[in-house]
Amino acid sequence: MNDIIAAARTLLFVPGHRPDRFDKAAGSGADLVVLDLEDAVAPDQKDTAREHARTWLAAGNRAVVRINPAGTPWHDQDLTAVSGLATALMVPKAECADQIGAVAARAPRAGIIPLIETAAGVTRAVAVCSAAAVVRPAFGSVDLAAQLGIDHRSHEALRHARSALVLATAAAGCGAPIDGVTTALDDEAALQADLDHAATLGFTGKLCVHPRQVEQANTAFTPSDDELRWAQRVLAAGADGAVASLDGQMIDRPVLLRAEAIVRQAQR
């Protein structure tokens, strides 16, 4: 199951108090559905949302669940309700490995997706991503921007944080990160700009907040035909393991690894 989480290009949020949307989200083409018990649910609806999520998962459906943070009145109940049912748990405000360990101890069969959305989380991202249960992190761009007093839509303002998270996943040896949401629901150009920026920096997935974002995001994180042909030619040129050349460019071990990664992405 962790392989599915690691390879997911799109994770579509659906509010936990809207069970009428669960099946629609599952049929949207998103690689994973995220049943949200946190930000999308008002305090007086938390218990209802939790029960809707538990019931849907118990019926055999697969989803990630974003639980409420530790220290809130709902955290322990969330874990009790879904820990044996969720494909993975998304942990908000992840800032240290101990947080991840405490959740993992309650949900030993679920992968963990830490949501890095605070300054402390970014500066400690290597430690967070190194926790044993972590499959890959997600980037909470909107919350981080609010803490920093900057525009969450600005690529430049959040470039350092995004790059720090990409570096942290590589250093920790976990899956590449999932980029934060695009809040412009009807602006395909804005979504594409966000996708291109995230992919350039090394992200391999996207948090989506509307089904109409899914297809575009899936395409952005799937190698194009040209990229796949290039990768196959590189692997053929370097098949004997020696340094080679292709179209006037040197082919050595790092280039071969990049080509292998592209082929793996295309096979998802």
Q: Which residues are annotated as a binding site for Mg(2+)?
A: 117, 143
What span, in angstroms and rounded, lies between the C-alpha atoms of 239 and 256?
9
How far, in whole angstroms, is CA 171 from its chain's centroid?
Answer: 17
Binding residue numbers for substrate: 66, 117
The answer to whether the CB of 86 falls within 8 A of the CB of 60 is: no
Angle, to 10 degrees, between the axis of helix 253-266 and the axis of helix 225-237?
140
Burial 85-119 (b: 16+ CB within 10 A, else e): bbbbbbbbbbbebebbeebbebbeebbbbbbbbbe
Residue 252's nearest CA partner among 267, 234, 264, 268 is 234
Residue 139's nearest CA partner among 110, 168, 111 is 168
The answer to whether the CB of 78 falls within 8 A of the CB of 68 is: yes
Distances (CA, A) of 197 to 135, 166, 232: 23, 13, 25
Binding residue numbers: 66, 117, 143
